[in-house]
Structure 1
Amino acid sequence: MRDARCQDGEAMGSPVEPAAVPRAAVGDDALRLVVEASPSAMLLVDGAGRVVLANTEAERSFGYGPDEILQLRVEDLVPTRFRRHHDLERQEYVAHPSRRAMGVGRELFALRKDGTEMRVEIGLNPITIGGERFVLASVIDITERLRGQEAEKAVREDVLRRSILDSIPFCIIATDSAGRIVTANPAAESLLGYAQEELVGRWITEIDAAERARYADGTPALSRVDGDEAEWTYRHREGHVVPVAEAVVPMDVGDEPGFILVAYDITHRIEARDRAEHLATHDSLTNLPNRGLLVRHLDAAFDAADRDRRQVALLLLDVDHFKRINDSLGHHIGDEMLVVVAERLLSWVRQYDVVARLGGDEFVIVFEDLDPGVDLDRRIADLTRAVLAPIVVHGYELAVTASIGGALYPADGDDPAALLKHADIAMYQAKAAGRNGVRWFEHGMLDDNNDKLSLSAALRQALEHDELSLVFQPQLDLGGGGVVGVEALVRWSSPRLGSVAPDRFIPVAEDGGMIIQLGGWVLRSACAAVVQMQAELGQPLRLAVNVSPRQLRSATWLAEITDAIEASGIEPKQLEVELTEGILIEDHGDVVAVLDALREVGVTIVLDDFGCGYSSLAYLTKFPIDKIKIDRSFVQEITSADTDAAIVDAIIVMAHALGMTVVAEGVETEVQERYLRERGCDEVQGYRYSPGVPAPEVVRVARAWAGVS
């Protein structure tokens, strides 16, 4: 007999060389009695492997009768798969016999008469009887012993598994194949609020907070789950929902197939994800939907409008002069004002309307489910009364006005991007009309917008192909009467568009990002031209150039000024940069530093168009300003010697009190000139003296006013 691994030295029936025993003794009653008395199955095997003696226990164990067992060779008592190897090992054992104690054979298998196998231990004892060699084999059936050991091992392993499962922080639930809970660990009790005995016997669907897929017979389709982790929801005993990550794997233990569900609480993950999703779709200041969420909402609103044959209205609201509030009172005041506006908008709209913030001071209101042709003007008028009323923030009462652009779906755009673009165009029309108003999109506005785009492309080409030129308007000293300086003015004569007015292409240059390039060209060209003009005149001239907000914010602007001064050779004090009031108000935080740097270079700072903006004379003390230009609109009000131009008078007095020079622009008549001279105005320019003329003409004008032929 041989084990499953065919270990050497386990064969039965090998002759040996111990003390001689008479051959007749094999059949002696004494030997039989000794063998029969053994509690183990005993087999005496000769050198050829034949069984020559077996006790009753051997007959019982192997299932043979007394005569049957003596007709067998020892290989007949070994499973077929081991016989060939057993025969070879038995022959080897003949050559090297040795005593083998019980159990040394390790995992051995014997074959019963009925074909069943049994696990055995075998002890081998080589003996000689009557000069003939035999092996006495003692065989013990250890099947029950092994079963007991395996049972004990299973108990120990089950205790270990239970200990592990009980200590794991994950919820673990075992079910049968139909989905009925058969056991659960303490973490499951903690997660679900049930004691283990309360969970056992329940259907898994009783703890589900969502509908789990089922088979046709109603049992949960757990077998369809592939073991991958997926998000799911359980319901706690107290009723609240517990989001979990759940993995379901099949369990096949004997005749009891089922499933193991492993889950853990992901409440914090869900909350973090919801917060991230909210932050990605909402404005952080006002908590209103942002552009991305607005577009998704518009898509859904358009689908509903198409289905119900209704229309959608979109209003784009831009708070007027919001930057002034930020810069003068601080961003915290501006932010608080935006929050109040958002709250008012939300409380004013209907429950199913939408309010969003696009950023900055721009809000969007979406009116859904509107009848075609509905009159919205009354609603918008109510909007301006309810929402755009004065707001008190930290003791400041802020007057709130807004420019509003409106567009309708489907008439004004068939997708969110188009509708937003058209509302934006209408809003800028409202701003251009003086702010604090409403404009509904009209398709003619696209022509204006497209004209700007076309003009922008043409201007870019003009800058590359030298289509621009400069003219200079002389500035005269009212005391001496001579030309003391010029203002550089840019002109554009396009081969395709003809003469394009500055008030048409300068805003396009601002919006199109070309103003820095254009301003740099003007600065360099004007400096070079002034050097030539004053060489012909034989006297120095001051040069005034206009500066845009974008130039002032440019990091390279100061370097461009110093480069132009050095390249042309003019004195820094001859250069005057003209700024508008709007630049000072809108850029209060940074402009002072820039102007101080200009002052250090030696450049003169001029405040252009003073009096037509939205500031007061009081702020003049906050900025390093050298000269003020009175706007032409105030000069034109001087129509006779008896005119009382109080604003002009106030500007002159205030400027002189602050040590500033005063220039009046737009002077066209002798009456205006005399009035300004009598009030102490320092310099003038306007059509009375000369329009803007090319550089060579400036020399002629200057000589004429100086009385030189």
Structure 2
Amino acid sequence: MHSFIWLFGLGLIVVGARRIVRTTSRSRAERNTLKSILDASPVCLALIDSHAAVQYANPAYTELVSVPPDALIGRQPGVLLGCVHQHDNHGGCGKGAECRGCEIRRAITEALTSGTTSLGNETKLLTQRNGLEVLRYVRFSVQPVGDGSRQVVLALEDISTQKVVTIEPHASERHFHVVTDTAPVLLWTSDQPGKGIYFNKGWCSFTGRTHSELVGHGWTEVVHPDDLPGYLKKLDAAFEIRQPFTMEYRLRRYDGEYCWILDAGELRWLEDRTFGGFVVSSIDITESKRMEELLHKREQQLHHLAFYDVLTGLPNRLLFNDRFCQATAEAGRHKQNVGLMFLDLDNFKMVNDTLGHDTGDRLLCDVSARLRSCVRDYDTVARLGGDEFAIILPEIRSGEDMGTIARKILDAFTEPFPSSEKELFVSTSIGITCYPLDSSEMTELLKYADVAMYHAKAQGRSNFQFYSATLTAHVAERQALEDGLRKAVTRGELELFYQPKVKLPTGTLVGAEALLRWNHPERGLVLPETFIGIAEDTGLIVGIGKWMLRSACLTASEWNREAATPLKVAVNMSGRQFALNDIVGTVRDILEETACRPEWLEIEITERLFFNGNDDNLRILQALHEMGITLAIDDFGTGYSTLGNITRFPIDTLKIDRSFIHDIISNPDSADLVRAVISLAGSLRMGLVAEGVETLAQASYLNDFGCDLAQGYLFAKPMPRESFEEWMVDEAARKA
């Protein structure tokens, strides 16, 4: 295990040495960083140049051979070989592989000339330590740098601890203690799980504890409490299977600081060859841990530099391409769509030219933040360069969804961006394409989005365009309707049609429902189902609804001013209107302005209103009801009404939806539902209106079951006010 870790570390260091060698292509800061890492390495390392002279030696190396750096640099490794134990160094005596000193020289020569690598040979060193000779066992390796520079790395591993463990069975306990106390490593022995029976002087000095304080279970007191359970578990397992082990943990030093320690436990055999526990060597790896952390941070920095934009922190083009490939692959598996947007800031060059690049950079950062706020968490916003951005939209259902997001972005850009000079107003042009609708190839989709973006610029900037002709036409139609709808009220293009409500079975007129129509200058008469959704989404319904209410009240006032039997005019009110601060005041003002009595007006609401702020809406409906206005639930049976809601709210009338009336004769379920609603209205003393009555059979059926009011094509279609007034005159004459 030790050899594997050491050889792996040697490979990393060779890479570092190779980088140091390439001084001409590396910055001074990076060379210094790499040198600091090698200096902190516990592996003993020397860099040998093409003349077999030492070019670099790290502190671990100079400490091992007990020779100062100035005595090594620029000289051949003879200084090292002079330290080789006399039994292993024969000074080129011709004894071949048996001579370790000759073998080191030969390994260096072969590595320099032919690139041969030598790994794992052992020898002994006699070094000086505090004025005394110390015998050390080392394993040496020679490896070429491998970059054509004809340089090699000479690395040494101190294996004295392993040798001590190996010779213990052949030495007395006293001799073992003498040897281990002089060893340059921390050693301790254990004969039972969790119990220490011997700690060498190095262990005692490192922890600041006496031997008597450490033996038994005392050593556990200096192990970090978070690491102790794992260590004891590892130790128990090692004793059970009698296998060597390694463990990293934190140990409290004599000064109270915790240091990272690597323990390696080797089997301890007694003189009678029975298992006696473990001899454990402890190495301070705190610096190695710091080096790992430094390398990890460096790796993270390099990863961020490789995949993220330095200025904005957004994914760059490389990461964008990778995420787009992932998104389309996932969409392909699940039969989904992926939207792609290309954005370009309009007139950004002018900002840079007039206000400077610093202002331009801050603007790009603000734009990045604003774009992220407009999309979902799992969408990707990337900066491709300059003032160009791209957005990946996974799991897109339709072109309308992409159009909604694009409109949200355009709306966000209507707000000014902060600047030290002044507020900046910047717009953007957006090109949109869709996988796999437009193409399944990324390069084509990127091109299509780019083309669509430039098309958006050509259309006047600050807009979005789809590459797909189908999507473009659909979204363009919606946008055109929205634009036209914004001007329709002021241009007088909106008009109310009226459909009569009659009493069954006589057909006597009792009122009318005001229905909205749009006289479009190009499309002709546009029905509400085409544009009401747009009005709701954009909030235009509030202004339109106010206009409808005023027009309907004015009509009711004029019809009923001298009428013997007043007609009640019904008008629909949107849930968005109920969100106004003073909808009750608005209705009161319109009634007063048009001289319309409250009892001439009926306000129709949908069942959805019950689930949109019940308490607030309840107070509004109660206030309207107290004014004398009739309240009706439109399209009853298609929404979310419950009996509790109906009885809680001040509702006067239920209007049965036309979908149930349509097949009341042929569909028993519809017939049963209609009968139930009729019965419910009767029990609650509410009025009842059947919508969409088209045949005499439907009218007769409704009348038989107690529904006395109806409206539908059987009696009259919705018609402009003038036509409705003519119809009333004709009906009166016919019944006279």
State the TM-score, normalizing by the size of structure 1: 0.41
State the TM-score, normalizing by the size of structure 2: 0.40
Structure richer in helix, relative to its length: 2
Larger Rg: 1
